[in-house]
Amino acid sequence: MSTAVAVFALRANNQHMVQLRDTVYAADKSNGDTETALRNLQSYVTTHMNTNLSAGNNAVYPPIQLKYSSDRLVQQQSSQTSKSNDEIYTDAQHYCEQQNPTDFSGRNRVPCIQQYVQSHISVTQPSSVPDALYKFSFVSPRWSPDLAGWSQVIAGLSWVAFVASFVARRWFKRTVA
């Protein structure tokens, strides 16, 4: 009986983890409160058995990857870089106008602008977004003191008692006969 309870409790643990994981993905997609959803998932996974986030040998690692958060971070960084590059180009035009105020054709200003941009643009290239901002992995315990864990303990002890009584009966029958 306790074995059946353990199986159903382990399944319930896994199903609840899947619901929490789906909540994290939904919050990520809608730009909602992913921090709270991740905290709820982490606290559940780290305290309950059978809540492993990876599935199979070809599972993605780390198992929680917030695609939409990553895309938003990359877009934000790209727009900041674009804005910075626009400012550099504007600064280059002003700088070169001051260097060559009498040049109306732009023949001397174009190389000046190119040189100014080349010397300043390397600083504002987009950097990569750190993985820690959108990739997460939580480890579930091998045993936890919940319904599934205690059911397994009781089931294990019951099986040991059953095998011990079976062996004892057989041994007593041989010695008596």
pLDDT of residue 125: 56
pLDDT of residue 20: 94
Rg over CA atoms, the chain: 32
pLDDT of residue 126: 59
- Residue 33, in any domain of the structure: yes
Q: Residue 113: give the domain boundaries.
A: 76-124
User: To which residue do tokens 């057989």 refer?
Assistant: 170
Query: Are residues 20 and 51 both part of a single domain?
Result: yes
Sign of the dihedral defined by the CA atoms of residues 6, 145, 15, 71, in that order: negative
Query: Are residues 6 and 47 both part of a single domain?
Result: yes
Task: Name all contacts of 96-101 with Cβ < 8 Å and 24+ positions apart.
Answer: none
The parts of the chain modelled with pLDDT lower than 50 are: none
Query: Are residues 37 and 10 both part of a single domain?
Result: yes
**Nearest by Cα to 46 from 131, 151, 135, 137:** 137
Query: Are residues 57 and 110 both part of a single domain?
Result: no
pTM of the model: 0.66
Rounded to whole angstroms, the Cα distance separating 41 from 45 reads 6
Query: Are residues 16 and 58 both part of a single domain?
Result: yes
pLDDT of residue 56: 57
Query: Are residues 140 and 167 both part of a single domain?
Result: yes
pLDDT of residue 51: 84
Rounded to whole angstroms, the Cα distance separating 114 from 117 reads 5
Give the model confidence (pLDDT) of 122-148 as tens digits. Answer: 555 556 777 777 888 888 888 899 999
Instruction: Give the list of residues 6+ apart from residue 143 with CB closer than 8 angstroms, or none.
Output: 49, 149, 152
Query: Are residues 60 and 85 both part of a single domain?
Result: no
- Residue 149, in any domain of the structure: yes
